[in-house]
Amino acid sequence: MPRNVALITADWWTQAGYGVRFEWGPEGARRLMAGGDVACLVVVDVLSFTTAVSVAVDAGTQVFPYAWRDESAVVYAADRGAVLAVGRRAVTPDTPWSLSPAALRRAPFASRLVLPSPNGSAIAAAASEAGGVVVAGCLRNAAAVGGWLAREGFGTTDRPVAVVASGERWEDGSLRPALEDALGAGAVISALGGGRLSPEAEVAAGGYASCGDVAVAVAECASGRELAAGGFAGDVAVAVERDASRVVPVLVDGAFSSPLCP
C-alpha cells in the first residue's frame, strides 16, 4: 500500500474500534470512510444544506445532492426530471427553489430537487459513492435521526456510524469549523443514546449538552449573524426548530427521501 494511503487509513484517523465517530468537513469524512468499516454516515450542515433537505423531505420532495451549481448540475437535474435549486440571492418567481430553508417552505411543491452545496451536499454525494448508508441530520430532526440509527442497529463497533459536521469555508477554501454544525452533530450523537463513542464524538455530544440555549447560540454565532446580516434571518429561525421533524432523510438511489414515508 502506498505510504500516503496507509496514513489516511491508519486506525487513529478512522477512529477504528469506536461505534460512534465524529469528524469535520469533506476531508474528515473521506478519512473516516477510508477505513472501510463505517456502515452509516450522518451529514450535518445546519446552515443550511441538511436543514433544507429536512424541510424539503418533510414536504415529500426527493432531494438530490450535488457539489456545485454549474453546467453539469443543469444536465444532472434535467436527466432526473428535477428542478435545480439556485443561490439564495438568485430566487425569482420562476426559480423559487434554493438552499434557503425558508424559501423552500414558501416555494411551490417540487417532486424532485437538485440541491447543490459545496459543503454538506458534496460530502453526501461523495459518501454515497463510497458505499454505506447516508443520512441528513440537523437540529430539526436530531431526535428522529438518533432514534432511527439506534433502531437500525447503527452505532455499534460492528456497525459504526460516522457523524460529520460539514463546516464552512474561509475565503482561501480551507475548512472553517462552524459552531452550528458542532451543535447539530452533538445533538444527533446525544439522541443516539448509546454505543462506544470516540473521544471526538464524546466531546461533540458534551458540547451540545452543555450549551444553555442552542437557538441563541446558533443565532449569535458567526454563521448565524452572517445570514441575518444578509437578510436571511428566516433561515436561522428554521434551522433552530429543534426536533420539529420526525422525518429521517436517507440517501437512496442518489436522492434523499424518508424511509418513514411512502
Q: Would you say residue 10 lies in a domain?
A: no
The domain total for the chain is 1
Q: Would you say residue 7 lies in a domain?
A: no
Q: Would you say residue 262 lies in a domain?
A: no
Q: Would you say residue 260 lies in a domain?
A: no
Q: Would you say residue 225 lies in a domain?
A: yes
- How does pLDDT run along the chain (262 residues), one tens digit per residue? 344 555 556 788 899 999 999 999 999 999 999 889 999 999 999 999 999 999 999 999 999 999 988 999 999 999 999 999 999 999 999 999 999 999 999 999 999 999 999 899 999 988 988 888 999 999 999 999 999 999 999 999 999 999 999 999 999 999 999 999 999 999 999 999 988 999 999 999 999 999 999 999 999 999 999 999 999 999 999 999 999 999 999 999 999 998 754 3
Q: Would you say residue 134 lies in a domain?
A: yes
How far from 68 is each of 126, 149, 172, CA to CA, in Å? Answer: 13, 29, 17
Reported pTM: 0.94
Q: Are 201 and 21 in contact (CB under 8 A)?
A: yes
Q: What is the CATH number of the domain that holds 66?
A: 3.90.1560.10
Residues 6+ apart with CB under 8 A from 179: 217, 218, 221, 222, 223
Three cell numbers at 143? 431526535
Task: Write the pLDDT tens digit of every residue in 109-125.
Answer: 999 999 999 899 999 98
Task: Write the pLDDT tens digit of every residue in 9-54.
Answer: 678 889 999 999 999 999 999 999 988 999 999 999 999 999 999 9
Residues 6+ apart with CB under 8 A from 222: 178, 179
Q: How far apart are CA 143 and CA 148, in angstroms?
A: 8
* Residue of 38, 63, 247 whose CA lies nearest to 145: 247
Q: Would you say residue 117 lies in a domain?
A: yes
* Strand partners of residue 22: 163
- The parent domain of residue 152 ranges over 15-255
Q: Would you say residue 167 lies in a domain?
A: yes
Q: Is residue 110 classed as helix, strand or coil in its secondary structure?
A: coil
